[in-house]
Chain A
Amino acid sequence: MNFANATFLKRLGVGLAGFLVALLAVHAQRQEPARGGGGQPSRAPSQAAAPSRAAPARAAAPQRPVMVDRASHGSIRHADTHVVQRPVAERPAFEVRRDVVVHHDVDVDVHRARFWNGFAQGRRWAALPLGCIALVVNGAPYYYDDGIYYQPEDGGYAEVYPPVGADVTDLPDGAIAIEAGNLVYYYAGGAFYVQQDNGFVIAPTPIGVTVPELPPGAVQVSVKGAVAYQFNGIYYQPVFVNGVTQFQTFMP
């Protein structure tokens, strides 16, 4: 009985081996035409298993798949209208920092509480928050904490508008990546940061750029009879973008 079992197992093994050989032969045959004919040297089965169209494309294509962004969701009819291709590997927002919000014009109700939402120009504090960083911008002393800037005032400290030229190592939490022209700005607390060397510098506010929300504490004003908002000398006018209310910087 043991002998019989051994014979049985041997035959089973031979049979399975034959099956595998047959499969490999079929597979190899299928790969040959795709590789440009039988004259090509054979490759290891694992390499040959790659789809034929992948071989030439691999050199040029990005390592990660190309993804897309849509302005809005919810339509089959217009699923492919205004779709922006965006190679994932080239997304600076994700490569630079993971806690940067990539700007989508979607109308969803997600409240993002950020430290800099609480900014109020001129508000006085007796002491600075723990962890404040001392900065010198254009020769003036500042203190910085997660998107809010302070200056010494009357023995205490006052919240002040973000100074152009301030250079910080980290973006404020929840900064919003906004592409304008050929630049990527990171918008937070009414300031537009650009990446520079190993840090981020506040750039002059670009005019004509659209942001999804007003700077904290922006004041409503009337410009030529139209409603607008003002923050640190810059005006913002409301506009519908992709059907969602946003705010565009302008100079009256």
Chain B
Amino acid sequence: MNGINRIINRTGQGLRLVVAAGALAGLCAKPAIAADAKPAMDPQADEFLKRMGDYLAQAQSYSVTAEVWQDIQLASGQRIQASRTIELQVRRPDRFHAEVRSTRHSRGLFYDGKSITLLNRVKNFYGSIPAPGTLDEALDVACERFGITLPLEDLIVSDPYRSAMQTAVSGSDLGPVTVLGVPCEHLAFSEGAVDWQIWIETGAKPVPRKIVITYRDEEGSPQYTAILSHWDFETKLPDFLFNFEPPAGASEIKVEEIKAQSEAHTKEGQ
């Protein structure tokens, strides 16, 4: 019995030590958690992203196809996904062409170094906005003045790495996975209310194979998913691909500026 008591006493002392250690750990745990919670950039994630960014930045021209899935919330509150495909052609420093297609919509976007033209192929409407300069300037003019987010613009910019990292506050490397059978490295980044993930092909051609953007500050945190395929850095992309020619019977319509939209008046008619 004494032996048992000694063991229990020792166990009790041990427990007290454990409890004391736990209390000390409790004292220290908060700062440790706080430090963990502090946004941090995983150097490996940063390196993978830079490798991809440099690869795309150095490419003089390329084309890629993307299948996009976008969360939509129906009026009933039900969440669904809408899809479309994007065929993108880029020639640096100042050429861009995209065809965006879904079952009921078909749009073309052209940038020839001077202006961006939108073409609604279903209605046969087109409209142009002046955007002289480089691809970066054109993307910014389109979005900031006209509210037009050009498809996959994060891959089009002259320095995709720098553009993406401008606002990123944390990043992590989640390890190797495959996207449609292609070995990739899965990276996750966060910038305030927007999280984004990217899957970069491992090996000699570090191109993105999948991108997911999560808008945490929107109702229901909708996601935008792009799965990229058919990367082509070899085929030459001639001028005519980027120069817009109105199709037969097409009508030119106005492209609204954001400022004009906010000034829409409500004069009553009828």
Contact = CB atoms under 8 A, between A and B. Distances in A.
A108 B255 contact: no
A68 to B, nearest CB: 5
Given A4-B8, A8-B8, A243-B146, A106 B213 contact: no
A128 interface: no
Interface residues of B, number: 84
A67 to B, nearest CB: 5
B269 A109 contact: no
Contacts of A98: 75-77
Interface stretch (B20-28, B57-65, B175-183, B238-246): B20-28
B69 to A, nearest CB: 10
Nearest to B258: A82
Nearest to B23: A22
A234 B270 contact: yes
Interface string A1-44: 10010011001100110110011001000100000000000000
Contacts of A147: none
Interface string B61-105: 000000010101011110010111000000000000000101111
B270 A232 contact: yes
Contacts of B26: 19, 22-23, 26
Contacts of A22: 22-23, 26-27
B267 A207 contact: yes
Residue with the highest number of chain B CB atoms closer than 10 Å, among A72, A79, A102, A209 = A79
A72 B149 contact: yes
Contacts of B154: 75-77
B217 A68 contact: yes
A131 interface: no
Interface stretch (B35-43, B117-125, B199-207, B229-237): B117-125
Given A79-B167, A180-B264, A69 B218 contact: yes
A67 B221 CA distance: 10
A241 B261 contact: yes
A92 interface: no
A79 B194 contact: yes
Contacts of A1: 4
A203 B266 CA distance: 12
Given A7-B12, A243-B107, 20 more contacts: A15-B15, A16-B19, A18-B20, A30-B30, A73-B70, A74-B151, A74-B224, A74-B226, A76-B191, A76-B194, A77-B153, A82-B143, A98-B76, A210-B261, A226-B253, A240-B125, A240-B127, A241-B256, A243-B109, A249-B269
22 contacts: A7-B8, A19-B26, A22-B22, A67-B217, A67-B218, A68-B193, A73-B215, A76-B164, A77-B164, A79-B215, A99-B76, A100-B75, A102-B75, A108-B84, A110-B72, A181-B264, A206-B269, A209-B264, A238-B123, A240-B120, A240-B148, A242-B146
Interface of B: 1, 4-5, 8, 11-12, 15-16, 18-20, 22-23, 26-27, 30, 68, 70, 72, 74-77, 80, 82-84, 100, 102-105, 107, 109, 118, 120, 123, 125, 127, 139-140, 142-144, 146-149, 151-154, 157, 163-164, 166-167, 191-194, 196, 213, 215, 217-219, 222, 224, 226, 251, 253-256, 258, 261, 264-270
